[in-house]
Structure 1
Amino acid sequence: MGFRGLMSDTQREALRQQALAEIDLLDTPPEREFDALAKLAQRMLGTGMSSITLVAPERQWFKARCGPLAAETQRAQAFCPIVFETEAPLIVADTTLDPRFATSLFVTRAPHIRYYAGVPVRVRRPDGERVTVGTLCVLDEQPRAPTPADLDILTELACVAEALIEARTLAVRAAEVADEHRMAVERLERERRQFKRAERMADMGSYRYDIEKRSLSWSDGVFAIHELPVGGAEPDGDVMEAFPEPDRTAFRAAVMRTLDTGEPFELEADLVTAKGNIRRVRCSCEIELAKGKPAALIGLIQNITERHGLETRLRHQARTDDLTQLANRAEFHRVLDARLHEARAADGDVGVLLIDLDGFKGVNDALGHAAGDAVLRRVAERLRKAGYERYFPARLGGDEFAVVVPQNLARTDLDRMVRRLLHDLEIVVDGQGHIARVTGTVGIAWSSEASHDRDAVLRHADAALYAAKRTRKGTAQTYRVKPDSRQVA
């Protein structure tokens, strides 16, 4: 009995009702096996009535019944609840002589019960405890002298009833498990189809690398990204070979870090497909654990070629002057800031050239803006000529251009470059009977003389530019700091 002897009546009642709910038998349709058992009890004991009874909080309900018994009755004044509550057999030879039942409606009215014999029907709960949920009983309209065999027969038949309940409960649970399994399989199939659709829509796929078996498996999406037949075998050899350098080295290093630290990663890389096409992909990777140990590497690969191309074009547009296709002012500032940061860290020096076109307004006034635009494009072409590859040119706006000089370029080398640049900036425009000449004036400044500050070095270059214009247009001057003052020399 375990600790049940220490339980209160209320706690024992709650335990019995919980067990009754667990077998899920109350208010179920008639079943032939239970009906046959009730009839067998009636015949073996020769009574007019019999039942397999389940006792709920306010009523008793007959899973099977023989004779003039209702489908259910109230619990009060009934016989079976006594067996249910005491969990012990009960025989009443003549109910009219028993003060507990003499005034019961079941005795004074139909079905006019005069004889009753019942035994508990128990079930075994998952914790092994056997708990009463109902009774197996026989009843009659006539009193009778009980025999010891009556309870023996009922007890044996109650064992059959308990076996039936247990078998039914197991069958119901098995059916529920089977139904849950079927539903789970259907759900997984739906999710698989949805995942495949999602893969196709997102142009992505998943992979799993079994660390112990050293085997790789791909979803359909990965085959599609690699331009391989879907559902075929994964390629032999090192799949990393699909990534060209330097992305291959970066991918290997990321995988090793994940294996060493357990930290997942994401990266973007170029991938060469089986058909030789280059695609941009986003890769993710993390460790799958089994029993606390790394079992596999799992992750996703997404084809982002179109998006990457769009982002690249947008970045280019945001950083490029539309007319000349040189870097614009914002990109010039970004590059100059980066070069100044490098120079400051390395105790180096960066030169900056500011260029202003002389005579450009005359071209616009005499020949029109189309001719002026052509001049600006010709200037850009000359800034991209061979020999200027190490320099970073930009159009700041209007007829103003700028050039970032490579770090630590010798000033004598820069002097030669500026002389060539001044020559290249001489442009003659002939059209509509007018001839115009455009030249360039250049102001030069060095970052070391401006504490590697962008605004300061640009002010210095601007000051040198206007000093050159005052001296003679089409020339260049360098901003230098004299011991007694700051001025252009």
Structure 2
Amino acid sequence: MLQGTGSNTQREALRQQALIEIALLDTPPEREFDALAKLAQRMLGTGMSSITLIDPERQWFKARCGPLAAETPRAQAFCPVVFETEAPLIVADAKLDRRFEASPFVTGAPNIRYYAGVPVRVRRADGDTITIGTLCVLDERPREPMAADLEVLTELACLAEALIEARAVALRAAENAEERRVAVEGLERERRQFKQAERMADMGSYRYDIEKQSTSWSDGVFAIHELPVSGGVPTGEIMNFFPETDRALFRAAVERVLDTGEPFEMDADFVTAKGNARRVRCSCEIELAKGKPVALVGLIQDITERHGLEERLRHRARTDDLTQLANRAEFHRVLDARLREARASDVDVAVLLIDLDGFKGVNDRLGHAAGDDVLRRVAERLRASSYTGCLPARLGGDEFAILAPAACDGARLSAIVQRLLHDLEIIVDGQSQIARVTGTIGLAWSREAGQDRDVLLRHADAALYAAKRAQKGTAQSYSVQVGQATAQGRRVSASKLAPK
């Protein structure tokens, strides 16, 4: 543990006091924190991750993934450095870092080589933020540090801080409830609202009085609508903040609440009074008095940033980084969905596998940068308007795939293949050398594969390699009747490409 005097000692005392106040140490596992640690591990592709709290003698893991103990001594650990400096830390290779090369966590289990961690902070009553722990990822192998690692961890740390703040708010509310014990009905309403707020990181609450047909908002709801509190609730215009589709869904959900008494939550698009687009989460439930419904109460939360993060994460998980085409997992996901539809309606689905000829020579003679440029050029051509309705994907290396449009007949597929064979001819000129890349295509239909994804891809792969044996830069279609791929040259007919 780093030693310090004066202001450092005072700061350490403040951090320890803040840690005591949130009462999170030595608490049981909680699903939200565990999910956050797993998300960090998955996003950064490391073997370990943790949400760590630091007390005077130890580091204790509120959530952990990988071969980490429940707690370890603070001395010679990584997270205490982030805790004490209150700044992010990346260690590319701990065995080459003087601070950690002799650490027992490096020389022995869990054999840490790579570490990236950011502070997790809480806000104190005086408005100051203080570090109480870290969100970090670790790995048994060294790796090149990337700025994006800290950016992702910083965004996820914001979520961890929101979870801790919601938990702290819940703790304070419970203490206040014990002290006051007043207004049973009011406390019951606040308890329900607070429970929802704890789950949704409270942004604002509303209450609709059924008898008076009047609505009241908290200040947070006015802020989400970008309306002044002094102007009052715009009762006649409330639903106009939602687009028509979401407006109808919201109204139907409220009607179900009134009919069944079951609460609901829904996410919706939203446009503020100033015309700003937002994404919000709405909840609603019935407030009872003497067993009768008297009001609708709920929360509305601005989740625009969270929604954007989720969309970015979803896009990243489904997209090949180099070409920005769908990756293998996304291609399989869409293909599986199309095959389910095909099984239900007895239609045929066509898949084309593409292998680039001469690509290895580009890498060997002109370098990997030239090879990457070829892959990007291929991707750009596969996104052309002539392939509208197709789903192009990069499966890995120089292997691509295309899922043909729904209800694609042999004539249209023939045109697509002819166009592909032309578009996949690429001339690469660099370093006073010229290289030529072409594409060989294997085609298969889902009916011949029994609407089974693995069989369908095996058929297309067999057709692809048969085409390569016959002549590179050509296309072939798999034939079930003869039990092998049948050769087709560069000019492929509609009848030959149609399913047998």
Identify the TM-score tier after normalising by the shorter chain. Answer: 0.5 to 0.7
> Are the equivalent residues in 1 in contact too, given 2:203–2:302 (CA < 8 A)?
yes
1:289-347 superposed Cα distances (whole Å, 9 cap, x missing partner): 23433322211111111111111111111111100011111111111111111111111
Name 2:89's counterpart in structure 1.
none
Instruction: Give the 4+ runs in structure 1 shifted more than 6 A.
Output: 180-183
1:247 matches 2:259: no
Structure 2 residue aligned with 1:408:
407
| Partner in structure 2 of residue 51 of structure 1 | none
Distance, in Å, in 2 between the alignment partners of 1:387 and 1:210 is 57
> How does 1:206-355 map onto structure 2 within 5 Å?
206-355=205-354
1:363 aligns with 362
Matched residue, 2:117: none
Distance 2:455 2:230 in 1: 63
Number of aligned residue pairs: give it: 301
Q: Deviations over 1:168-227 (max 9, x none)?
A: xxxxxxxxxxxx999848x98xx99x97xx89x946111111223221111111111111
Provide, for residues 71-94 of structure 1, a one-character-per-residue CA deviation record: whole Å limited to 9, x for no partner.
xxxxxxxxxxxxxxxxxxxxxxxx
Higher mean C-alpha displacement, 201-210 vs 238-247: 201-210
Instruction: Provide the residue aligned with 2:423 in structure 1.
Output: 424
Alignment of 1:434-445 (within 5 A): 434-445=433-444
1:488 corresponds in structure 2 to 485
| Contact kept? 2:214, 2:235, Cα under 8 Å | no
Cα distance in 1 for partners of 2:202, 2:299 equals: 11
SS at the partner of 1:448?
coil
Partner amino acid for 1:218?
Answer: W
| Structure 1 residues 203 and 226: alpha-carbon distance in aligned structure 2, compared to 1, 3 A threshold | farther
Per the normalisation by structure 1, the TM-score is: 0.58
Q: Does the 8 Å CA contact 1:220/1:231 hold for their aligned counterparts?
A: no
Q: What code does the residue aligned with 1:395 have?
A: R
Q: Which residue of 2 aligns with 1:157?
A: none
| Deviation string, structure 1 residues 438-485 (Cα, Å, up to 9, x no partner) | 111111111111111110000000011111111111111111211xx4
* CA distance in 2: counterparts of 1:257 and 1:426, whole angstroms: 59
- Structure 1 counterpart of 2:437, one-letter code: V
1:379 has 2:378 as partner: yes
What amino acid sits opposite 1:243 in the alignment?
F
- Within 1, Cα distance between the matches of 2:295 and 2:421? 64
- Equivalent residue letter for 1:459: R
Identity %: 75
TM-score by length of 2: 0.57
Structure 2 residues not aligned, in runs of 5+: 1-177, 487-500
Give, in whole Å, the separation in 2 of the partners of 1:400 and 1:378. 14
1:387 and 1:258, CA in 2 relative to 1: closer, same or farther beyond 3 A? farther
Mapped to 2, the partners of 1:381 and 1:258 lie a distance apart of 49
Shift of 1:231: 4.7
Identify which range, 406-415 or 362-371, moves more after superposition: 406-415
What are the Cα deviations for residues 78-137 of structure 1, in whole angstroms up to 9, with x where unaligned? xxxxxxxxxxxxxxxxxxxxxxxxxxxxxxxxxxxxxxxxxxxxxxxxxxxxxxxxxxxx
Take 1:421 and 1:182, find their aligned partners in 2: how far apart are those partners? 74
Shift of 1:358: 0.6
Retained in 1: the 8 A contact 2:391–2:402? yes
What is the one-letter code of the residue matched to 2:484?
Answer: Q
CA distance in 1, matches of 2:356, 2:322: 16
Kindly report which structure 2 residues correspond to 1:129-278, keeping only aligned pairs within 5 A, or say none: 184=182, 202=201, 204-278=203-277
Give the SS at the match of 1:266.
strand
Cα root mean square deviation, aligned: 2.5
CA contact (8 A) 2:215 2:235 kept: no
Distance 1:182 1:283 in 2: 30
- CA distance in 2: counterparts of 1:230 and 1:356, whole angstroms: 62
Partners in 2 of 1:433 and 1:388 — Cα distance?
Answer: 34
C-alpha displacement of 1:408: 2.0
Query: What is the deviation of 1:414?
Result: 0.7
**Which residue of structure 1 lines up, in the alignment, with residue 460 of structure 2?**
461
SS at 2:386 equivalent? coil
